[in-house]
């Protein structure tokens, strides 16, 4: 069975655009859970423009299903040029404190609008390997955000990751152009997934997956989890959040 983990960053982003607590993030987390989703994902960043550190702690205490925290453990919380980060403790401390079921390590910089590439593991991965071991020792499954690059996937297996999460932006972009283009790019992910499985890695996927392209991508070999946030919030403007979640659950269940 493929699990749907809902990324609630965009709900927090809307909340943060005004004073107060509207929309109520925790209320929407519980609404997602009531709809039958399998997990909740957050991707805190040092500027706390959407998910804040306090949200991570509150969600962890409020839910019983899988919690996935994404972020870059190699990026400093107080990097040059960042605005006041207030009480943001850093990604590593969040994982140490919360010990989520899964932490997904992503190679984005503090300045990025959104994640747009996977790890390049062609250099020295000593620090990343040590962090993976550290997080696993605390009980968190570790997934690495990766491109559909066979050589990189093989390297991910050598540094101790449990899973890879395929960055699916290129696939989603190809699907917009034509079904044939989407199918061609999907085959690249299929080969990479087969290599991941052969090397003992489990497979997740996320980024720009939506109701139009998920039907094909769900057939990726070994796919265990999709993390979707932006598209769910966009579709909720048309269908409402409950109907939108039902549609996504129906797609992955078929």
| Residue 230 assigned ligand-binding role | yes
Buried b (16+ CB within 10 A) or exposed e, 65-74: ebbbbbbbbe
According to DSSP, residue 135 is labeled H
| Residue 134 assigned ligand-binding role | no
| Residue 219 assigned ligand-binding role | no
| Residue 45 assigned ligand-binding role | yes
Decide if 44 contacts 69 (C-beta within 8 A). yes
| Residue 104 assigned ligand-binding role | no
| Residue 208 assigned ligand-binding role | yes
240/94 Cα distance (integer angstroms): 32
4: Cα separation from own chain's centroid:
11
Q: Where are the beta strands (DSSP E) in the chain?
A: 3-7, 39-42, 66-71, 102-105, 141-146, 163-167, 202-206, 223-228
Per DSSP bridges, beta strands 163-167 and 202-206 are: parallel
- Residues catalogued as catalytic: 43, 70, 207
| Residue 229 assigned ligand-binding role | yes
Query: Which stretches within 3-146 are classed as H helix?
Result: 9-16, 25-34, 53-62, 91-98, 126-137
User: Cα Rg for the chain, rounded, in angstroms?
Assistant: 17
| Residue 7 assigned ligand-binding role | yes
The annotated binding site for 1-deoxy-D-xylulose 5-phosphate is made up of 45, 50, 114
The annotated binding site for 3-amino-2-oxopropyl phosphate is made up of 7, 18, 208, 229-230
The annotated binding site is made up of 7, 18, 45, 50, 114, 208, 229-230
């Amino acid at each position: 069975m493929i699990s749907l983990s809902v990324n609630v960053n965009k709900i927090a982003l809307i909340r943060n655009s005004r004073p107060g607590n509207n929309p109520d993030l925790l209320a929407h987390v519980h609404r997602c859970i009531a709809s039958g989703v399998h997990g909740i994902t957050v991707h805190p960043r040092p500027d706390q423009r959407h998910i804040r550190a306090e949200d991570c702690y509150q969600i962890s205490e409020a839910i019983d299903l899988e919690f996935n925290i994404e972020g870059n453990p190699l990026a400093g919380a107080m990097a040059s040029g960042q605005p006041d980060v207030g009480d943001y403790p850093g990604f590593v401390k969040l994982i140490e404190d919360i010990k989520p079921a899964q932490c997904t390590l992503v190679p984005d910089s503090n300045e990025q609008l959104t994640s747009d590439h996977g790890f390049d593991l062609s250099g020295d991965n000593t620090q990343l390997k040590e962090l993976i071991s550290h997080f696993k020792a605390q009980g968190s499954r570790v997934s690495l955000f990766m491109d559909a690059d066979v050589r990189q996937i093989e390297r991910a297996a050598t540094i101790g990751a449990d899973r890879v999460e395929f960055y699916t932006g290129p696939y989603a972009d190809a699907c917009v152009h034509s079904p044939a283009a989407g199918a061609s790019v999907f085959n690249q992910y299929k080969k990479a997934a087969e290599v991941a499985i052969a090397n003992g890695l489990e497979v997740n996927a996320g980024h720009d997956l939506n109701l139009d392209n998920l039907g094909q991508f769900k057939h990726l070999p070994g796919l265990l989890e999709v993390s979707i946030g932006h598209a769910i919030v966009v579709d909720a403007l048309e269908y409402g959040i409950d109907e939108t979640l039902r549609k996504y659950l129906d797609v992955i269940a078929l």
